[in-house]
Amino acid sequence: MDVRQERLLRVAFLAGPVTDAAALVPMLFPFLAGLVWGFHDVSGSYRFAMGYCAALMLGWTALLIWAYRRPMKSRAVAALTALVLYGLVLTEILAVLSGALEASRMVPTWCLQAALLALFASAYHYPSLRRWVAA
């Protein structure tokens, strides 16, 4: 067992739930979505979609907390989390391109997501990265 990889996975599995919990706040409180994303049209459809998103975000938060307990056995959760992050970024890019979101509002989120992607990917691929760097 590689202690450094386990430590890196634990950091990732803690950073994820903290970030997810922060993302839940504007999903659950529409007035904060206005501050964060500039959304002011909080129709019934919007609230319904955000409710779905919040439930999934809460579930993923719980999954990451569960993975923290046994990081080496739950290593695949890091790869799956990277996949989820890619999906979120793609959705955000499409929203910006459609004009639904201002790119300037997304820059801080994209920076955070880039850091999380690097963290989860390096934690998952740590043994390969270590061999590559040593070569």
Q: Is the pLDDT of residue 10 over 90?
A: yes
Phi–psi pair at 125, nearest 5 degrees: -95, 15
Span 35-60, pLDDT tens digits: 888 888 888 888 999 999 999 999 99
Report the distance separating Cα 122 and Cα 79, nearest Å: 10
Q: Which domain holds residue 115?
A: 3-134
Largest CA distance in the chain: 56
Structure tokens at 28: 């659950």
| DSSP one-letter code for 74 | T
Q: Is the pLDDT of residue 127 over 70?
A: yes
What's the pTM value of the predicted model, to 2 decimals? 0.86
Q: Is the pLDDT of residue 134 over 80?
A: no
Span 71-119, pLDDT tens digits: 999 999 999 999 999 999 999 999 999 999 999 999 999 999 999 999 9
pLDDT of residue 30: 87
The total number of structural domains that make up the chain = 1
Contact 132, 122 (CB under 8 A): no
